[in-house]
Amino acid sequence: MKVKFFAHLQTFTGCDGIDIPVSQKITPDELWAALEKKFPGILHYKTPTRLARNFVYADTDSVFHDGDEIALIPPVSGG
């Protein structure tokens, strides 16, 4: 599963994304826990950050699968 970072989360992680092996499925909270192991402190950004699955905003009930593209979407500021 590909996980993409944007804006200040790219600065925090030092990269624009990572691949996370997923055997079957993973919940948003499990994804955040996996990210915290790899990037300690990233949970600090959890509250204002939305998750997107395959280019659509996810919700707390979403389930992510291997092959999905997940994005961490910090508060946006376009326009």
Toward other proteins, which CB reaches closer, 67 or 78? 78
End-to-end CA distance of the chain: 31
Contact assessment for residue 18 and residue 37, using Cβ atoms and an 8 Å cutoff: no
**Which 60-79 residues touch other proteins, going by CB under 8 A?**
71, 73-74, 76-79
- Strands 17-19, 2-4: pairing is antiparallel
| Residue 47 touching other proteins (CB under 8 A) | no
Least Å from the CB of residue 6 to other proteins: 6
Q: Which stretch, 3-11, 25-33, 40-48, 59-67, contacts other proteins (CB under 8 A)?
A: 3-11
